[in-house]
Amino acid sequence: MNIHFAGADGSPRYNQLLTDCGIVNRLESYWTLKKKQPSTGFKLLLDSGGFVARTKGVTISVETYANYLNKFKPIFAFELDVKDRDETLSNRKHLLDNVKETKIIPVYHFSEYRVGDVGYLKDMIQQFDYVSIGGVANCGLNSTEEKRYFDFVFNITQHIHKVHGLGITDTRYLKRYPFYSVDSTSWLSPGRFGNFKSVQDDNFAGFLAKKRHYLVNIEREVKYWANIQKFMTELWNQKGVYWTD
């Protein structure tokens, strides 16, 4: 399983920290980068900004996005998914027809599962060997709703089709479902909020937040998530699931 470290797009300081910790997987956003070159030296997933388009009503030009992909040639990029299904499919076709060296990853949302749209996901896995699922992060779903959603998805994809979990790093789910990859900004939390996943003791976490430089604390979190990635990969290998690039 691969954890793609998201956030702090294009930051030389954070990129160097990630590199020093042996991190190779990165996720950055076209919406954030605009015309800037995405970070180099990583196995990069590029987000289209579709979440912003869906939730804030902003318009992102699929033609401009396609030109950006052709200019900088990231390995993978997410499709430009918007609220309107027909527009999303039109955007997908435009990217598939016009982007030459970047593989496009389609997105299946909780909202589509909620209305019982099984065919949309099945059509995706017929056309793509790498798909993503979203609509969970910051949506207020309870654990029962999330599990039903993931059960549905992985009953279809099983361990044959690669699935990326957008913003999904709850270790309960990483142990339960054979994700190929996920992404998270949690590694940045010590610098942003003084929060730690690597520290269970609140008093010690408070001490670190006050007494240690934020980059030292972030490095601690990066190493924590790197160990989670290693653990999950070995766990699924023991279950007979081996992902290859």
pLDDT digits (tens, 9 = 90+) for 186-206: 999 877 767 767 666 565 556
Model confidence pLDDT, tens digit, residues 211-222: 577 788 889 899
Q: Residue 49 in contact with residue 60, Cβ under 8 Å?
A: yes
Please give the pLDDT value at position 141.
82
Please give the pLDDT value at position 201.
57
Q: Which whole-number Å values give the CA distances from 83 to 29, 124, 224, in the listed order?
A: 19, 17, 36
Please give the pLDDT value at position 5.
98
Please give the pLDDT value at position 22.
97
Question: What is the SS3 assignment for 142?
Answer: coil
Extract the tokens encoding 198. 């690597």
Per-residue confidence band for 6, with pLDDT thresholds at 50, 70 and 90: very high
Give the Cα separation of 20 and 15 in Å (integer).
Answer: 9
The full set of domains in the chain, from first to last, is 2-238 (3.20.20.105)
Tell me the mean pLDDT in the region 223-243. 96
Give the Cα separation of 193 and 123 in Å (integer).
Answer: 41
Model confidence pLDDT, tens digit, residues 127-146: 999 999 987 776 778 889 99
Of 72-86, 108-122, 134-148, the range with the lowest mean pLDDT is: 134-148
Please give the pLDDT value at position 215.
87
Please give the pLDDT value at position 204.
54
Residue whose pair of structure tokens reads 């605009």 in the numeric block: 34
